[in-house]
Amino acid sequence: MRIELSILIYCILWCCAFFSVANESHIDPPVPVDLPTETQLRDQLLQQNDNVSLVNLAPQNKREFITPSVHCFSIKQVKLHHLDEFSSPSLQRQVAKWQAELVGHCQSQALLEQDINILNALLYDAGYVTSEVGKVDLYADDEVLDITLNVGRVQDIVSEAPTDKRYLISQAVPVKKGDVLNVKDIEQGADNFRSRPNSNVKIQIEPSSKEHESIISLSQVGKRTMAGSVSIDNKEQKIYGDLFGTTRLSFGNLAQLNDTLMVILSSQLDTLKSRGIKKQIFLWQVPYHYWRATLFGYDIGSKMRVSETTKELQKTRQQLLSFEIQRQFRPSTQRTVTLSGGIQYYTYRNEVSGYRLSVHERRSPYVNAGIEQNYRFMRGGYLNAKLHYKQSVYIPGARLSPIDSLNGVPIFNLNFDALIPFKITSQQFFYQPEMIFQ
């Protein structure tokens, strides 16, 4: 444990050591380099494996309606008991609309059964998968429909391994014993575990001996994980050289905080050439319920010969350190909304043959907002749409940065990616397009 914490502290100090403050008024545009964004890194970290499974949930009870012998009966009032137990504002609005459509209309038994099924569907779509309509009474003389909702609750949260630390479960899963069970809370807990590399945590919802109560079971919560890779490519051949090497290291739960630590070291392999680039990237993320704290930084240096007739080199160096707090919302099973804010510190240096042309710094608070909509096709495949907005807060006296997103300019990013299956002569094929607008 001491060795692992020492590695973590060393990585943080190693990244912070790159940053310095300078004071120059002349600014030259930097040599363009491929700067990875924090969003891109986060998407790489999140492995979209299904770690949530609903096991042996009790079937909904069969309801018998006591209705009058007349063919049609009128409803003037709909009473719903225990509706206030559900905290979802969207569910409250949908149920209120459902009630309004019943009042003042003549109902038959078949129509009433259909309306009850609609109410059950509203509960399920809102994430309350273990809650359902219970007792239904119709008082024909008073024209009152009386409905009692059976509220599904969490009886207990257990771990299969006795060595698992309880605080890791309470930190990741935003639900506790006695709460109303909503599968969106379980999905959020799965996302918090899933962000760790090679995470194989399993979360199951199991029925308990008590009616309308369930047990949340987890396995392999406190296990530390690690992943690494080494790659060689020539994607930057035109600018910086023939071969480019990248080493990626990822650690999960290193500090026993459900945390994710990622370090990327990348460089041009032929160091004898007069041009090249080196990148060091660092990301550390700690989740808590619907919140996430992220520390992100990079140090990117490049060199290029000024001309073919001289040995003078132009060297640039860009460094960034940012801290961000993110809040996720799940208004529906298909939509996720995120809000985040943070502060970042950026420096840029540009020099030729030891002569410093420009040095400047930038401290910039910023706010991010994003919405993600996921569609699943009936015949397979999906379409994901992501919209992100970033606004930096202007600081008087701060020098401009060569990165537009640090200059107080609002940035919009729109991303579409899809998986479309199709067949040719009974053979299954997949088309996976992606479009990005900024």
On whether both 358 and 423 belong to a single domain, the answer is yes
Mean pLDDT on 204-217: 89
Residue where a domain stops, chosen among 106, 129, 150: 150
- Edge-to-edge strand order for the sheet containing 202-207? 52-54, 202-207, 213-219, 153-159
Residue where a domain stops, chosen among 150, 172, 189: 150
On whether both 256 and 397 belong to a single domain, the answer is yes
Q: Is 414 part of a structural domain of the chain?
A: yes
Q: Residue 294: which pLDDT band, with cuts at 50, 70 and 90?
A: very high
Give yes or no for residue 41 having a pLDDT over 60.
Answer: no
On whether both 356 and 296 belong to a single domain, the answer is yes
Mean pLDDT on 274-285: 83
Question: Could you tell me the CATH number of the domain that includes residue 86?
Answer: 3.10.20.310
Out of 31-35, 173-177, 179-183, least confident range: 31-35
Residue where a domain stops, chosen among 105, 134, 150: 150
CA distances 420 to 241, 374, 386, Å, are 37, 14, 18
Task: Please indicate, yes or no, whether the overall pTM of this predicted structure exceeds 0.85.
Answer: no
Strand extents, DSSP E, 160-243 = 202-207, 213-219, 225-233
Mean pLDDT on 107-111: 81
State the residue range of the domain holding 81.
Answer: 73-150
Out of 104-118, 160-174, 333-347, 353-367, least confident range: 353-367
On whether both 354 and 433 belong to a single domain, the answer is yes
Question: Could you tell me the CATH number of the domain that includes residue 327?
Answer: 2.40.160.50
Q: Structurally, how many domains does the chain consist of?
A: 2
pLDDT value of position 219: 79
Q: Which residue has the tokens 């259909």?
A: 114
On whether both 244 and 378 belong to a single domain, the answer is yes
CA distances 304 to 30, 295, 351, Å, are 11, 31, 11
Q: Which residue has the higher pLDDT, 213 or 11?
A: 213
